[in-house]
Structure 1
Amino acid sequence: MGREYSQLGLEERIEIARLSGEGASIRQIAAALDRAPSSIARELKRNRGQQVGYQPAHAEAQARARRWNGSRLDRDPALRTEVLGQLRAGWSPEQIAGRLRRDGPSRLSHESIYRFVYAQIRRHNDFTWRNYLPKAKSRRGWRPGKGGSPALHMRHRVPLAERPGAVLTRLDPGHWEADLMAFSRYGQNLLLLHDRMSRVLIGSPLPSKRAEPVAGALAAALQTLPPACRKTVTFDNGTEFARHYELGALGIATYFCDPHAPWQKGGIENAIGRMRRFLPRKTDLAALDSGALIGMMAAYNNTPRKCLGFKTPAEAFSEQVLHFGCESTSPPSRG
């Protein structure tokens, strides 16, 4: 029977480098490693660096590079076209991979998509490829977070500790988180509301950051919903929410995060981060028509989410929120 062959490993390459440096012959190295002399000769010839000679790490990298046939996205043009189209639409690599698993057999991991994009940047020195990614970063890594603002006292402020525990389960519709999405031009802000259960996002531009117009915009956004879909709203400690108590007229309870703890309303913080891809800070809201803003909201609400089993927020709203009695979004009749 023929002898079974296995690839040289890094430990064997380290030994080859040591013995070769001590002046051992190819046959002596082969005998020490129980390998064929031809394998050692081929290893020393193919994986030797021109400047540094034979180095184990370099030899290992060279061998791996020869065995690599390219990423799946390089080999499958149809899959590549589909993935790049979804990236352009604002989907993250993890959302794309999850939706592929949901729609059929898993064909791709999110790490493969990240590696493919970063490989194009390195291969072509073309940094426009980073715009395919949610954070548009040209290299992997974490960005340091910013510190929170000091807590401010306001009338009728109720701390988050007094919020009903059922809100944390995300199984009950009508519990919202609110925040402002700020832009570089003075006075331009977008009010965003995020439903904790379905992850549906609604929003509207603000004429001012003052408490009075913010309270009016909050009431206008929520009053069209039936009472079962507007139970609580959670804010941070910004002065723009100082007139939060006016929502009590709609039967809505309001709660505030602890000082320096924006993570306690992580849903809206995450939503703002995702919306930044469509609306970077330098965007001029005055030049943006309402149809374009509605389209961006629709794109967000129709993007699959891992936390929803790769359903979209719109699908989750239809399947879950409507199930809890929110069949209509028209205001209740008066009289």
Structure 2
Amino acid sequence: MSRYRHLSLEERCSIARLHEDGQSIRQIAAALDRQPSTIARELRRNAGTKVGYQPAYAQAQAEARRWTGARLDRDDALRGEVLDRLASGWSPEQVAGRLAREAGHKVISHESIYRFVYAQLKRTNDRRWRFYLPRAKYKRGWRTKGGWPRHTDRPSIHNRPDSIAARKQAGHWEADAMLFSAPGQAILLAHERHSRLTIAVPQNSLKADPVADAIVQLLQPMPASLRRSITFDNGTEFTRHHRIERQLAIQAFFCDPHAPWQKGGIENAIGRLRRYLPRKTSLDDLPPNAFDAIIAIYNNTPRKCLGFQTPAEVFIPLHFKCESTPGSSPG
């Protein structure tokens, strides 16, 4: 028994011609080697009330009926799960990767999620849909960054061992300041390259001495084996790097001038945190515990580079392992 074949445009042209000539349904079916029920259903379902049966119109009606919409349009449960995770700050890639990790197989691609969100933006003209995306952009694309001033007497990133660039060893950090429109407001961040964990503290002064004190306070609680190196850009707030190196027993390196992308981990972290802390944010107006909650969201969001584990899931076992190993020292 042969499988059913959808009518082609050529067959629909023949149906229209024979129907206009006054042929019966059985005669048309015999001419096309089709079942009479197929011809009867075609004339009933795909004919226009005013134009009658037209091949092009019938083809369009049949194709529209077969189109069932995007996956997220059809699957209410999956759409709700995807949108809930996007609303929590996850990127489409993180959502797709985590769903695959939990299900043990691919559930949906990140491209499908992106297309769905941008289709909703266009279809509904509701700009709020863009806030489901990490950077809340109307169009996809890359943005460029500016440069930084030159300073001397700083160990170059080019002298940094290759093992640090490989991210295979824990304890190598990047540091930077996240600035805001309001004068005197900033956040100082430290980003661990292996686990992608980020720790941060609000900073009301970017002078070199307070920044050095803040970095020491951030990293000093870490076991010695998780304080191996730290990489800065060429901002003047990091000119007390010798004091940081001495107090933390850590080695400092600096990016080339105008090349903050060389510490790409923390640049990426700042970009992700901007979703919750845009430049116009006033840190003084944040509700109590809101800052800690935002950092916790970042550290508990799965990352593709970690096999869709979260930074916290990767870092916490390292921390306990190092604490349980007495006498460990930076290597």
Bin of the TM-score, shorter chain as denominator length? 0.7 to 0.9
> Which runs of structure 2 are paired with 1:8-23 in the superposition (5 Å)?
none
Where does 1:22-41 land on structure 2 (aligned, <5 Å)? none
Kept in 2, the 8 Å contact 1:94–1:109? The answer is: yes
Query: Is contact 2:195–2:314 with CA below 8 Å preserved after alignment?
Result: yes
1:216 lines up with 2:213 in the alignment = yes
Higher radius of gyration, 1 or 2? 2
Equivalent residue number for residue 107 of structure 1: 107
Question: Does residue 312 of structure 1 match 2:324?
Answer: no
CA distance in 2, matches of 1:296, 1:63: 50
Quick check: 1:226–1:326 contact (8 Å CA) kept in 2? Answer: yes
Runs of 5+ consecutive residues of structure 2 not aligned to the other structure: 11-16, 19-31, 33-38, 43-52, 326-331
Answer yes or no: is the 8 Å Cα contact 2:223–2:319 preserved in 1.
no
The equivalent position to 2:277 in structure 1, one of 279, 284, 300, is 279
Shift in alpha-carbon separation, 1:179–1:99, aligned structure 2, 3 A: same
Q: Which residue of 2 aligns with 1:174?
A: 171
Contact 1:232 1:252 in 2 (8 A): yes
Letter in 2 for 1:162: N
What letter matches 1:266 in structure 2?
Answer: G
Residue of structure 1 in register with 2:197 after alignment: 200
> How far apart are 1:255 and its partner, in Å?
0.3
**Does the alignment pair 1:72 with 2:84?**
no
8 Å Cα contact 1:92-1:133 kept in structure 2: yes
Runs of at least 5 residues in structure 1 that lack an aligned partner in the other structure: 13-25, 28-35, 48-58, 329-335
Q: Deviations along 1:172-208, whole A, 9 cap, x unmatched?
A: 1110001111111111110010000011000001121
1:186 counterpart residue number: 183
Distance 1:43 1:193, change over 3 A: farther
1:296-315 Cα distance to aligned partner (Å, 9 max, x none):
11111000000000000000
Structure 1 pair 63–174 and aligned structure 2 pair: CA distance change class (3 A): farther
Q: Distance in 2 between matches of 1:289 and 1:327?
A: 37
Distance 1:181 1:134, change over 3 A: same
Aligned with 1:255: secondary structure? strand
Match of 1:128 in 2: 128
Closer/same/farther in 2, CA of residues 326 and 171 from structure 1, 3 Å limit: farther
1:28-56 CA deviation, whole Å, 9 max, x = no partner? xxxxxxxx7x99x9543446xxxxxxxxx
Once the 2 structures are TM-superposed, how far is the Cα of residue 258 of structure 1 from its aligned partner?
1.1
Preserved contact between residue 167 and residue 175 of structure 1 (Cα < 8 Å): yes
TM-score by structure 2 length?
0.79
Cα deviation 1:212-257 (Å, max 9, x = unaligned): 1111111111111121111111011111111111112220111001
Aligned equivalents of 1:95 and 1:237: distance in 2?
A: 32
User: What residue is the counterpart of 2:238 in the other structure?
Assistant: 241
Residue 56 of structure 2 corresponds to 44
The change in CA–CA distance for 1:202 and 1:65 in structure 2 (over 3 A counts) is farther
Give, in whole Å, the separation in 1 of the partners of 2:63 and 2:250: 61
2:293 counterpart of 1:295: yes
Question: Where in structure 1 do 4 or more consecutive aligned residues deviate above 4 Å?
Answer: 1-9, 62-66
CA contact 1:198–1:321 (8 Å) conserved in 2: no
Q: Partners of 2:203 and 2:3 in 1: how far apart? A: 76
Distance in 2, Cα, partners of 1:8 & 1:277: 50
Contact 1:229 1:326 in 2 (8 A): no
Q: Output the CA distance in 2 between the equivalents of 1:201 and 1:77.
A: 35
Q: Identity of counterpart residues, as a percentage?
A: 53
- Match for 1:81: what amino acid? G
Secondary structure at the residue paired with 1:205? strand
User: Could you tell me how far 1:106 is from its partner in structure 2?
Assistant: 2.1
Match of 1:159 among 151, 156, 159: 156
- CA 1:64–1:187: 2 relative to 1, 3 Å: farther
Q: Deviations over 1:103-135 (max 9, x none)?
A: 013221111211221222222211111111111
Q: Which secondary structure does the structure 2 equivalent of 1:108 belong to? A: coil
Report the Cα distance in structure 2 between the residues aligned to 1:113 and 1:81, rounded to whole angstroms. 12
Letter in 2 for 1:113: I
Q: So what's the TM-score if we normalise by structure 1?
A: 0.78
Per-residue CA deviation, residues 243-282 of structure 1 (Å, 9 max, x unaligned), is 1111122201110011222121000000001101111111
